[in-house]
Structure 1
Amino acid sequence: MAQGDEDRTGSRGARDDSPGEGARRGNPALTSRAAILAVVVCAIALSLAYPVREYVAQRQQIAELKQQERVARKRVDELTQRKQQLGEESYIKREATRRLHYCEPGVKCYIVLDGGGGDEQRPQRDGTGSKPPWYETLWRSVEAADRSR
């Protein structure tokens, strides 16, 4: 039996040293277990990639919708205040007088124009007042052409 054990031991030592089987039993770069593990990890990563991308896109969309909701609520508040303001009789009277030049019965209303009157040249709003409007220049040139005949 000792000789059989030696043969087994000797044969094991011979197998480890042989170039064909020794390279197979060593630490190769990619074993079958590592390949299966890599395939499983890739499958998990691929199966999770789409749902994670959709989750991120939905979170972004939710944030945009919340911003739109805040803007819409602010606009609704402004319109509610405007509606309340338009419901007040004093505001309506004030705006009718200011915009439409309405007057209540028995009240004398005056409209003040630019302060110029008649044929006088009105000063420009920018303060220059030296250049007449284009239509006056055109009319003067027509009159001058008529006189030269």
Structure 2
Amino acid sequence: MAAERDRFSTATRLRAFGEQAAARVYQAQTRRLTPRPRRVRLTGRAAVLALVICSLVVALAYPLRQYIQQRSEIADQRRQAEEARDRVAELRDEKARWQDDAYVQRQARERLLYVLPGEIGYIVPEPDGGAEGDGDAEGDERLENRGAAGDRPWHEKMWEGLDRADGAGTPQ
């Protein structure tokens, strides 16, 4: 009984309790210091799901790109159609203006230098040195381009063409 009493004594129990506590602390430190093997979190289902999502993205990429491209082409076509409608409206307005006799008469006076019967037409040449040196950039440009074919009156162009045609037929 003495052995049994010794087994249940307080000192024995405290010593056993201390040893158990020390063993637990040692195990906890060992567990904390040793790296745990990482668990693979990717399961078979997750891998199949990732594969399905990737295949859907690849399968939908080309049609989506085509859709976006076609939408931009449609927007361009609509813009061009709107520009064409605006141009048609401008041309209709111009056609309506040309139906007006007063507009035709004014254009003939300005462009072709026509005059009405009984009127006297004058052509006043620009002075050679008048616009030079006054700092007017438009005037300087007009003087430089005055000899160009697009800036001369129609009758001068016509006479020049006749002179050239007449000169081309004669041998030199």
**Pick aligned residue for 1:85 from 97, 105, 123:** 97
Structure 1 runs of 4+ off > 6 angstroms? none
Aligned length: 98
**Pick aligned residue for 2:125 from 102, 114, 119:** 114
Larger Rg: 2
2:53 is aligned with 1:41: yes
Q: Secondary structure at 1:110's aligned position in 2?
A: coil
Map of 1:73 onto structure 2: 85
2:29 is aligned with 1:31: no
Q: Secondary structure at 1:52's aligned position in 2?
A: helix
**Which structure is richer in relative contact order (CA contacts within 8 A, separation 6 or more)?**
2
Structure 1 gaps, min length 5: 1-22, 116-121, 130-149
Quick one: distance in 2 between partners of 1:98 and 1:57? 50
State the 1:102 CA deviation: 2.0
Map of 1:3 onto structure 2: none
**Pick aligned residue for 1:124 from 124, 129, 134:** 129
Quick one: distance in 2 between partners of 1:30 and 1:69? 55
Q: Give me the CA root mean square deviation.
A: 2.6
Given that 2:115 and 2:121 are in contact with CA atoms closer than 8 Å, whether structure 1 keeps it comes out as no
State the 1:36 CA deviation: 1.1
Structure 2 gaps, min length 5: 1-36, 135-172
TM-score (ref. length: structure 1) = 0.56
State the 1:125 CA deviation: 4.5
Map of 2:113 onto structure 1: 101
